[in-house]
Amino acid sequence: MYSAQWCRDCRAAKRYLDEHGIAFTEIDIETDRAAADLVLAHVGKRAIPQLVIDGQWFQPYRPGLGLLYDELDARFGITTRL
């Protein structure tokens, strides 16, 4: 997961992953310039959080909507909300 410490939605995404026992590696775009450039190259902007699932980039957040819990559930096959 590409994130930054200051990002509220990144913290929400990490909490979601932790609550569902989903292992992830966090890459902070603020401390890793190459990671920031990679996000920019893949999605055209430095928009975080970004998840890479089986090689596919996915941003589980939309401005005005916040974290997209239903889309996260669908991606991970989660059928019950905690």
Note the pLDDT tens digit of each residue in 23-71.
999 999 999 999 999 999 999 988 999 999 999 999 998 888 889 999 9
Question: What gap in Å lies between CA 49 and CA 9, rounded to an integer?
Answer: 7
List 67's β-bridge partners, or say none: 61
- Residue 46 confidence (pLDDT): 83
- Residue 6 confidence (pLDDT): 94
- Residue 80 confidence (pLDDT): 73
Residue of 25, 17, 20 whose CA lies nearest to 52: 25
> How many CB atoms are closer than 10 A to CB 3?
23
Residue of 3, 10, 7 whose CA lies nearest to 67: 10
Task: Enumerate domains of the chain plus CATH numbers.
Answer: 2-76 (3.40.30.10)
